Structure 1
């Protein structure tokens, strides 16, 4: 049964009467519009019509009979022509536009007149002697430009010229054998699935990419070295579906727990800590649990004033730099970033992984941040640190939750951050934080306070540096400050003021200056029932 080609039609009568033979000049594109293949024989009104290229070659070679045994098997001169599963011959292009010499028809006609008149022709007759000549349209506006695999615009006549050259030279592109295609597809799927089963997902993805690259390289080698066309899409799709299936399997089984943890903590922790947690998921219990942690609050001093005097784009850039540098220090020291609150930062140490020296790490991180900001930052920040019990975990609703800490320890750390402004310090830590870090840290006691909402006094300290590091207050000055603080706490305000004033005069210490003011105020109006503790009734 012949398959009818609906796009074939006979030439006009004048041409038909003069022609020595007919051939189908229509070449339909593939589904994507690219001209890759040609049907060498089609049917019209139940008659076999050869492609014009096949007709030309058979006439030039004097072939009397072309065997069309079935649609997928054509013989010419006893030689099988390689066809694909659709009975089409793949076109072996030799290059882009103008691969074959071409001449304008006007130049040919003009040259013919010149030869007839005995003049030197514009185009020598030698260029067409013993050649197969194709007349056709190649101008873009005449709609015979075809997209080919190697050129977006390829003249239709050159498509026929290419097919003729393929047939004359036997220069064919042979389709990959069906059973070999199946083997390649099977191997691609098997390697991708096994790779993702036995190897970590990242390695499995690398294997998948390698399969794609090998398919492209292998098909290119077969095509250019041996004239064999191997499909790339089917192995690629097979590897894709297999990879997807195995990734889904891994997601639903052994990799699920690790991904949950990494997803939950990558925003808060350094990559090293996240990696450590993912190795031992049982070390972490999702949800809320009480832990002893060290809370850290920081806030930029006079941020409202700064924001009013700075253009928004510049302010955002400065804030991004500030948050990036401070967060980096927090995470490098093992801290967990909880959240940004406006220009404030909340962080904590001691969760999700336990650590014995979390108070010291928090205080040293605070000192590193202040040291960094002293090197040219437009911001000055105040930091409060407190160590105590807090509920830590994924806290929130079913719709949205955060890994955070809640409780009185959090509130007190925030209060201490605010007290820096009242006592002239930049870092303030509670007595519990100092006691937990004193083996690693030098600090000075700066008194005891009652903050709003708490009746119990809190001892407060100012970290000065890691043990062995130099700082602005020498041992003698620290002793004088300590003596002044003791005099203040027993109500000997005038004597305390004299010593505080001495420290302030030598070092410019702001905390000593503020204590001088408090001493003078209390000396004039002694607070009733003074117990050595400064009461702050506002946040």
Structure 2
């Protein structure tokens, strides 16, 4: 069906307004939704990347098993010296230690002697210090054997005594990056710092959703640039004496390696699998015990740290809820060594906004020029094309293009524009529903909405089952009830009755006072309509008994619900003028259902079934209680009750 010109104009106007609003929210990103969607989508894309050859990287893990064998954490410096010496004996290309050695050693004999001498003023104890084992001295000797980078952390207060070990030289103007900046930093004591050849930041900051996705390539401690630990490990392996910050290209040169800095000077990591960690990891106890050959570390970059839960260096990542920071640093070093560095240039955000605008305009053009299905396919196709291109750029070039955000803007615009395309039909249907839904069953309203020419439904003769309900003692209850309480109870009562009737395929026709009239097998054919009506009657009785036990009903003394049902031919159709249609049924079955309901009072029953309905029920579903006199009939009428009900004591 072709769209009217006015509707098309509405599509364009409303769609354009939605597009502008979506772009404004997108560009503002005040709640971080844009960044959260982008990062989550990129996580999923990076998880699709095929495995790459493992670089020459080994992780030496002071795991829980190692701590169980060699003592609780924190280890003394002498123990760390033994581990570092064992690693250095394998002649690795470089070593990085993901541990902060804060302050001088406090656990070695020499440290204890210094402390006692200072506290007691005993010169003889101070004279013993040079002859006692000193943890810092032992560790310094081990550190000096190979190129080793130690860990430093960023501080929120100025630290004038802190000095980076690695010079960062700017080849051109400073790079336009938003580096992680703090007031200061702290590192190991001077003896260890002087023995090491590198000093790198081991701090890791999560994103707003608590997920760690990045490690710093460079950070600023005050005004001093400090490299990350992974950068220092690679620099030492490259044999570079300094790092070169190329502001013109916004890259960091690490020896012969060129690493894009992006906008924040951090390295974006993809989800890593524990299987990859296991393949590159050696438990520290195997080196200390000699069961692992240190020679296997020759020429490799080695990271030393701990994954033990008791150490507490666990972080949530996209691929693991409790990833050791040691393995996160190793992932960063592996990416640098492999040259597999994902990056996000500063211009990319503006490019994505332009892409979102183009996708939105494409959606508007598609729905304005094509039929609804064609416009939907064209608009979705444009979004899928963007997603495919973004995935390809992420996986093939490491360019962190947002695969989800711009298509979402385009999809929102498309959805609103398509909705406006149907506004005329929807408006017409709403007018019809608003006018007639208070009078007609939902199925009849749907028929009229689909064919407005059928506003006066033609009458027809149908065999229907009528069901009539009434509340015992309702009149006396109304005399003693507060109006507000009574109305609230009746609303709840009729809502539940209607739900039960509709659930059994019936049509709740009308409510009068405390009574409800419902029909089965109209306006559409309903197989086994008498059986459905009986099942509905039993459900109504059960549900209304539950309602009577609710406090609001019990406070009013709400009576039992009595039910009558009968089956027979009836004239079905509209009654009334065009201003007030009443789709209903007229016939003896309808009258008999009401009279059978009233007969319950004399019979002492709650469900009374007429012979017409009983004849259509399955064998054994109802049983006769004999003939009774019914108003409006000369002869007595045989009536029935559900087979499971107790025999009434008799009329009167």
TM, length-normalised to structure 2: 0.46
Residue 90 of structure 1 is matched in structure 2 by 268
Q: Which has the larger radius of gyration?
A: 1
Contact 1:68–1:75 under 8 Å retained in 2? yes
Contact 2:314–2:322 under 8 Å retained in 1? yes
**Larger mean Cα displacement after TM superposition, 151-160 or 210-219:** 210-219
Q: How far apart are residue 218 of structure 1 and its match?
A: 5.6
Residue 122 of structure 2 is matched in structure 1 by none
The change in CA–CA distance for 1:163 and 1:4 in structure 2 (over 3 A counts) is: closer
Residue 437 of structure 1 is matched in structure 2 by none
Residue 12 of structure 1 is matched in structure 2 by 189
Tell me, in whole angstroms, the C-alpha distance in 2 between the residues paired with 1:362 and 1:244: 37
The change in CA–CA distance for 1:200 and 1:122 in structure 2 (over 3 A counts) is: same
> Is 1:133 the counterpart of 2:309 in the alignment?
no
Residue 160 of structure 1 is matched in structure 2 by 329
Give deviations 1:434-459, integer Å, cap 9, x for gaps. xxxxxxxxxxxxxxxxxxxxxxxxxx
Q: How far apart are residue 156 of structure 1 and its match?
A: 0.6
After TM superposition, list the pairs within 5 Å mapping 1:443-482 onto structure 2: none
SS in 1 for 2:194: helix
**Larger mean Cα displacement after TM superposition, 416-425 or 256-265:** 416-425
**Larger mean Cα displacement after TM superposition, 11-20 or 74-83:** 74-83
Residue 515 of structure 1 is matched in structure 2 by 634
Residue 566 of structure 2 is matched in structure 1 by 382
Tell me, in whole angstroms, the C-alpha distance in 2 between the residues paired with 1:364 and 1:36: 59
> Is 1:369 the counterpart of 2:558 in the alignment?
no
Give deviations 1:221-242, integer Å, cap 9, x for gaps. 5444554433134225413542
Residue 345 of structure 1 is matched in structure 2 by 517
Contact 2:231–2:254 under 8 Å retained in 1? no
Contact 1:257–1:281 under 8 Å retained in 2? no
Give 5+ residue unaligned stretches, structure 2: 1-173, 473-494, 539-562, 600-607, 617-626, 638-652
Give deviations 1:32-55, integer Å, cap 9, x for gaps. 222222331222342222212112
After TM superposition, list the pairs within 5 Å mapping 1:59-74 onto structure 2: 59-70=236-247, 72-74=250-252
TM, length-normalised to structure 1: 0.54
Tell me, in whole angstroms, the C-alpha distance in 2 between the residues paired with 1:364 and 1:163: 68
Residue among 99, 102, 107 paired with 2:281: 102
Contact 1:382–1:426 under 8 Å retained in 2? yes
Tell me, in whole angstroms, the C-alpha distance in 2 between the residues paired with 1:34 and 1:364: 56
After TM superposition, list the pairs within 5 Å mapping 1:105-504 onto structure 2: 105-108=284-287, 110-111=288-289, 121-175=290-344, 178=348, 181-182=352-353, 184-193=355-364, 219-224=390-395, 227-239=398-410, 241-243=412-414, 245-246=416-417, 249=420, 255-261=426-432, 269=441, 276-281=447-452, 284=455, 298-299=466-467, 324-327=503-506, 338-339=509-510, 344-346=516-518, 369-370=529-530, 381-382=565-566, 385=570, 390-391=575-576, 415=591, 417-419=593-595, 426=610
> Is 1:27 the counterpart of 2:198 in the alignment?
no
Greater relative contact order (CA < 8 Å, ≥ 6 in sequence): 2
Give deviations 1:351-399, integer Å, cap 9, x for gaps. xxxxxxxxxx96996996347669999697126846797447898xxxx
Residue 235 of structure 2 is matched in structure 1 by 58
Tell me, in whole angstroms, the C-alpha distance in 2 between the residues paired with 1:392 and 1:199: 42
Q: How far apart are residue 160 of structure 1 and its match?
A: 1.4
SS in 1 for 2:295: helix
Tell me, in whole angstroms, the C-alpha distance in 2 between the residues paired with 1:364 and 1:170: 70
Contact 2:210–2:316 under 8 Å retained in 1? yes
RMSD: 5.5
Q: How far apart are residue 57 of structure 1 and its match?
A: 1.0
Tell me, in whole angstroms, the C-alpha distance in 2 between the residues paired with 1:32 and 1:227: 23
Residue among 75, 82, 87 paired with 2:253: 75
Contact 1:298–1:344 under 8 Å retained in 2? no
Contact 2:564–2:593 under 8 Å retained in 1? no
Q: How far apart are residue 275 of structure 1 and its match?
A: 5.2
Q: How far apart are residue 339 of structure 1 and its match?
A: 4.2
Tell me, in whole angstroms, the C-alpha distance in 2 between the residues paired with 1:49 and 1:517: 103
> How many residues align structurally?
387
The change in CA–CA distance for 1:390 and 1:105 in structure 2 (over 3 A counts) is: same
